[in-house]
Amino acid sequence: MQIMTDTVRIDKWLWAARFFKTRTLAGNAVEAGKVRVDGERIKPARSLRIGDLLEIDNGATAWQVSVLALADVRGSAMVAQTLYAETTQSVAKRQLVADQNRYFREPGAAFKGRPTKRDRRQMDKPTS
């Protein structure tokens, strides 16, 4: 993994840090306002710097991370985790959501968009 010292585009960094599977998905999330830097909306071409605070929502999970290092190429997951540090509030919030989902899971939470006929049958099926 190539680690840079100056700046890197935010969509490249999100892809390299493995928050999104493709750079296109990362760019679309930034455009849609799902990624914020220091609390404000940005564009995909914005330069990211070490120390920036990011709020990332990829649809399934929301993170609040601080940028520790910059990279513009995707590497292993072990190396990607060294690029950022998650805040304690974000860890606590994700743990709370995980605990709530352990005891009660919303029937339609696993489906994106409008459920199909098969999805509807699975939601209506009684649980034992």
pLDDT digit string (tens) for the chain, length 128 residues: 555 557 899 999 999 999 999 999 999 999 999 999 988 999 988 999 899 999 998 877 889 999 999 998 998 999 999 999 999 998 898 888 888 777 776 666 666 677 788 888 887 887 65
CA–CA separation, 117 and 11 (whole Å): 36
Nearest Cα residue to 84 out of 62, 61, 52, 57? 52
**pLDDT at residue 111, rounded to an integer:** 64
Number of domains in the chain: 1
CA–CA separation, 23 and 105 (whole Å): 31
**pLDDT at residue 2, rounded to an integer:** 53
**pLDDT at residue 76, rounded to an integer:** 92
pTM: 0.74
Range of the domain at 18: 3-124
Tell me, what DSSP letter sits at residue 6? S
**pLDDT at residue 125, rounded to an integer:** 81
Report the CATH number at residue 117: 3.10.290.10
**pLDDT at residue 1, rounded to an integer:** 53
**pLDDT at residue 109, rounded to an integer:** 65
Contact 48, 70 (CB under 8 A): yes
